[in-house]
Amino acid sequence: MAVVTVEITRTTVLEPSPESARGGGEKVSLTVFNRASLDKYVTAVFAWNGPAAPSNDALKDGLIATVARFPHLAGRFAVDEQNRKKCFHLNDAGVRVVVATAAGNLADEDVSAHFNELYANANKERANEPLFQVQLTRYTCGGLVIGTACHHQVADGQSMSVFYTAWTAAVRTDSAVLPTPFVDRSTTAVPRSPPAPAFDHRNIEFKGPTSSHPSCPNPMDRTIKTLLVHYPDQFIADLKARVGARCSTFQCLMAHGWKKVMAARGLPPESLTRVRVAARELLSASYPAVVGAIRDAVARVDHEYIQSFIDFGDGDGNEEELDLEVDSWLGFRFHDLDFGFGPPCAFVPPDLPFEGLMIFVPPCRPAMPREESTCSWRSRDEHVEAFKHICYSLD
């Protein structure tokens, strides 16, 4: 396969018009939910085949019209009025848009092979760095790749899924259809007075002093690899049959991934995993037992737990390191990302320098079986190789 050369032709910052801007220059404190997110830019890359894509001007017009309704994306990081804490400055400073070309036929190329050239090079250490950045790359064949980089403390994957859908609707309707999102974060994280945290959040949501999990590795550590595993609909049906009881696709895939990751890592039998199950018990447990442990853990995150987490954040001003996680993007409606010429033909999950991160991604096209999923798992090379040999085993 030939090497694809991506050439950047233009870089600009697009600001909402004064008539549409909604930021108002306000400074907004980060909530505990923002602070619990990775202090990093998270990328996403979508690809569309064919020459029927809207022009770059149409994409940019729809983008800036939509961004105006999401003022946090058009803002910047700053410090509060006391010059102490990190905050959002809703100054409508805009989003960076990079325009690029690629010599090649998109249908013949492996987008993931030159993934790092398909999104803007965001750097959180730069002053006045845009929190949301977009790269539009046109291939010789007419194919389009849209790569985005969004700071995770501004928006998580679910929020960005809503934004992407709104952007595509704006382009399809020439900005006649625009969203009215609820963006008042101060009302979603109100602590009790006085705060009364009831759970050990420092060692659960954050990497506290008694957390046994490893730190996020150096992003240049070449021993950390990303593995993509496709689970077809029949495999997922077989998994659910093993459980016996009603369970979600995420629950059965997480149960399977949990068992296989523990085996691939070769953890000592006495090791404890996140929901306090010994590795020996986990590896020998049936799928119904593992799904039950996951379901019980999810059920414990109720209103009281969330309120406790909010109270914890109000009483703790430190920025701490996020712990390991498994993310489900199975509810993201990628097939709704239609600028007027169909849904994307491919999506490449973010390649984060974070050992142990597992993401479940749905298929792009609605015609594909809805139970299909791709699992992206990032770990050390020797664990990835071991996982490859057992990832489809139902033992």
Catalytic center residues: 152, 338
Q: How far is CA 331 from the centre of its chain?
A: 12
- What is the 3-state composition of the chain as percent helix, strand, coil, each rounded to the nearest 5? 30, 20, 50
- Could you tell me the CA-to-CA distances from 385 to 34, 144, 214, 377 in Å, in that order? 34, 33, 20, 12
Amino acid 127 reads: A
Phi and psi for 384 in degrees, rounded to 5? -60, -45
The CA distance from 213 to 190, in Å, is: 30
The CA distance from 346 to 363, in Å, is: 8
From its phi and psi, is residue 25 left (phi > 0), alpha (psi between -120 and 50) or beta?
A: left
End-to-end CA distance of the chain: give it in Å, rounded. Answer: 37
**DSSP sequence for 253-267:** HHHHHHHHHHHHHT-
Record the tokens describing residue 357, joined without a space. 């991160």
Phi and psi for 157 in degrees, rounded to 5? -60, -40
Amino acid 366 reads: P
The CA distance from 140 to 86, in Å, is: 43
DSSP state of 363: -
The CA distance from 356 to 378, in Å, is: 5
The CA distance from 171 to 54, in Å, is: 8
The CA distance from 201 to 188, in Å, is: 18
Which residue in 231, 285, 238 sits closest to 263, CA to CA? 285
DSSP state of 3: P
